[in-house]
Structure 1
């Protein structure tokens, strides 16, 4: 919940006025896709899970323009025409690709000139922090030299280092506009923890930390926003 609320706030500051053509790659249950559709955007939601897409479709309200497509993210290049979207979201997906290069290139291809790419990735520059906070010192030690890790679900994944990822995006004509840290202060809170009565304070503190150095540099997640060059 904290992650989704922070990403919504951060994204809103950079989006062009609606209506926009939006693609959500790996949309999951569609939290961001549905929020943008409710604001008047035309949204294409892509995910490999039929179960998650069914959940998304059950929450579509009258008047929302949402098209759900069941397909792996790797097929993006064959499913969409070049420059067919004004905004492309890819949140919590790149960490499951050993080589995210082809997917990044496909997203750059389908994004229109001047369009916005929103990426949410695991922060490879702060990978040791969570295991250290949990008292797993072996994993903390290994994290300094290896961007591979096992997430809370027990799934093998990988992290991205901000400057390396920014450089890779620049080679595709995607210039970094801004970046934020996400879940800087609450990452060690258990997933099943109840929502606190001081939720507004929590979100305000997280929002400030995600915009402020040095806090954002140690965030477990990085929200990176890039603009595609006009040329």
Structure 2
């Protein structure tokens, strides 16, 4: 199995997620005795996670509703010299597109905020996961949403995010819903998953001016290390832009 791609210093924005995924890949390959895992990326878009996973030698299927994104995914995979299976559909369609017990790992990143029915989507994921398979969930956090709106001078929007049960600041909000750590854990538990620790993603990255890190690799590495330290901090985690959860199929 090739070791390029993820073994290099990861992008700061996704460093925490990749660190968690590396642990899952190691655990699942040890448990299954297979070096190549079957991975489904629901809503995987242009392959930001899928292509590096394929580079590592895993069999990756991306399910996404956008034909343009899937076309870009295929070009990206071709440039890297790997194959990624592309299927058009929504997360809730997984049961129709894939057989049951087909995946060792399912990525569900920035999906639950937008799907019509999050419970149906997660139930579909559970159906394609093998016993003890893992789901990786990445979702927007309402506390960060309020902070970012306030920093943009949109104080009424910030207050609306905090008041809305779904964490939205109104009809113009491009993110229909957001999740706290508690609501994310409750949602996963209600659909039959055994939930692990919740991590914060992009605690500082979205607040630090890009000029401070773009020209200095050492600064980028230091920021990535800071993000790792903040990911499970009992206070900082809950102000992160996104929350990341790993859960096993019960």
Q: Deviations over 1:17-43 (max 9, x none)?
A: 231110000111101111111111111
Residue in 1 aligned with 2:8? none
Runs of at least 4 residues of structure 1 off by over 6 A? 190-194
Instruction: State how far apart, in whole Å, the 2-side matches of 1:88 and 1:114 are.
Output: 12
Of Structure 1 and Structure 2, the greater strand share is in 1
Residue in 1 aligned with 2:201? 182
- Do the aligned residues in 2 keep the contact of 1:98 with 1:158 (CA within 8 Å)? no
- Do the aligned residues in 1 keep the contact of 2:104 with 2:134 (CA within 8 Å)? yes
CA apart distance, 1:190: 6.9
CA apart distance, 1:118: 0.2
- Do the aligned residues in 1 keep the contact of 2:140 with 2:241 (CA within 8 Å)? yes
Query: How high is the TM-score relative to the length of structure 1?
Result: 0.88
CA RMSD of aligned residues (A): 2.5
Of Structure 1 and Structure 2, the greater helix share is in 2
Residue in 2 aligned with 1:165? 184
Unaligned 5+ runs, structure 2? 1-10, 30-34
CA apart distance, 1:164: 2.3
Query: How high is the TM-score relative to the length of structure 2?
Result: 0.82
Structure 2 vs 1, CA of residues 179 and 99 (structure 1 numbering), >3 Å: closer, same or farther? same
Q: Select the residue among 124, 134, 137 that pairs with 2:152.
A: 134
Instruction: State how far apart, in whole Å, the 2-side matches of 1:71 and 1:125 are.
Output: 31
CA apart distance, 1:65: 4.2
Q: Deviations over 1:38-61 (max 9, x none)?
A: 111111111112222122111225
Identify the range of structure 1 (74-83 vs 193-202) with the bigger mean alpha-carbon deviation.
193-202
Instruction: State how far apart, in whole Å, the 1-side matches of 2:61 and 2:138 are.
Output: 18
Matched positions, count: 228
Residue in 1 aligned with 2:5? none
